Amino acid sequence: MTIEINLLPWREEQRQKRSKRFYMALLLVALVGLGAGYGMTWHYDQQLAAQRERHALIRERTVELDRDIRAVSEYEQQIATLKRRIEVFQRLQAERPQTVHVFNALAKSLEAGVHYASLARQGDSLRLSGLAEDNRRVSDQLRALEASPVFDVPVLSEVESAEDNRRFNLSVNQHMPGAAVKEVAQ
């Protein structure tokens, strides 16, 4: 008796099982690949969305910063304007006593027989017009102004005869010895 073993169906079954395992592994690898691809796409989309949010926040902060910069510039302009105003007020405040000092000096230096008709001040220069009884009184007035510590040497520009008086025009620069010291101290 001979035993016959048919290995073909067994081999066929093994081949089918291996093919089935291969296709299952292939399907599993394809599913894992698709899942990994989807996961990577989702991850990059999340990173892209987060980056867009950061950019939007940066743009928003940039707009706020630009607004703040404009506000600071406006404040600096207001500060500069206020500083200029303060300087004007300080200068005017410093000139107030000088004006009083100039008028006092003019009153002290006024000679008998001389009357001032007008006074114009431009910076440190004074232009005076007046009437005097005669030429001698005009020259006495010039000497009195020159002798005053408040004024420099006066310059007589014209003398006219008017009825029984002499009409004269002169200019003189004022100098305040204490004013220079005050300006340096400020």
DSSP readout, 155-172? EEEEEEEETTEEEEEEEE
The predicted model gives 155-170 an average pLDDT of: 83
Do 122 and 171 contact (CB within 8 A), yes or no? no
CA distance 186 to 181: 9
Query: 110: which strand partners?
Result: none
Q: Does domain 110-174 have CATH number 3.30.70.2830?
A: yes
Q: What is the pLDDT of residue 78?
A: 96
- Average pLDDT of the chain? 86
Looking at residues 99-109, what average pLDDT do you find? 83
Q: Is the pTM of this model over 0.85?
A: no
